[in-house]
Amino acid sequence: MKYFYDWNALEKTMFASDYSSAFGSVIMGERMQVAMVHKERGTGSRLHSHPNEQFNYVLKGEIRARVEDEETMMRPGDLVHIPANAAHYLVAVSEGGADYFVAKDTTWGIAGAAVDGQNTGAHFDQDYKKDE
C-alpha cells in the first residue's frame, strides 16, 4: 500500500466520459477516492447521480453547480456536499476553466449514470469554444 503521493507526478485521465468533461488525477483507497479535477470553460457534467456520497472543493475558477433542485455559483474556497443518489452537475464557467478537489466514497463503485439514461458524453454550453 502506498502512503504518500505527488499530485504533479500522477497520470491524468478523463473521468466518467459518458456524462462529464472532468480530466485529472485520481488516488484510490480501500473505500474512498480523491481526485484533482479540471474542466474547461463551458464544459462539465450532465445531470447525473450515483450511490456514492461526494464532496467537491473549488480551488480555481467558477463553477455552476446543481444538487437536486438547488443551483448556485461556486468560487475558490466553496465546497459542495453531494449526498448519495442526489441528481447533480458541475459546469466550469470561468476563463481558463475550473479546478477542484474531490473526495468520494467508493463503497458502491465510482461510476454514476446520467439522469436521462443516455451515454451521450459531457455537457457543452451552446457557446463553448475550446480554450487555447
Give one word for 96, left, alpha or beta, with left for phi > 0 and alpha for psi -120 to 50.
Answer: left
Buried b (16+ CB within 10 A) or exposed e, 92-114: bbbeebbbbbbebbeeeebebeb
What does the pLDDT look like over 2-32, one tens digit per residue? 899 999 999 998 887 777 888 999 999 989 9
pTM over 0.85: yes
Pick the more confident residue, 42 or 18.
42
Span 55-65, mean pLDDT?
98
Cα–Cα distance, 89 to 17 (Å, whole number): 13
Non-local (6+) Cβ contacts of 11 within 8 A are 25
Report the SS3 class of residue 64. Answer: strand
Would you place residue 66 in the very low, low, confident or very high pLDDT band (cuts 50, 70, 90)? Answer: very high
Q: Which residue has the cell 470561468?
A: 94
Which domains does the chain carry? 19-108 (2.60.120.10)
What does the pLDDT look like over 72-123, one tens digit per residue? 999 999 999 999 999 999 999 999 999 999 999 988 766 677 788 887 778 8
Inter-CA distances, 6 with 9, 34, 83, 106, Å: 5, 13, 29, 22
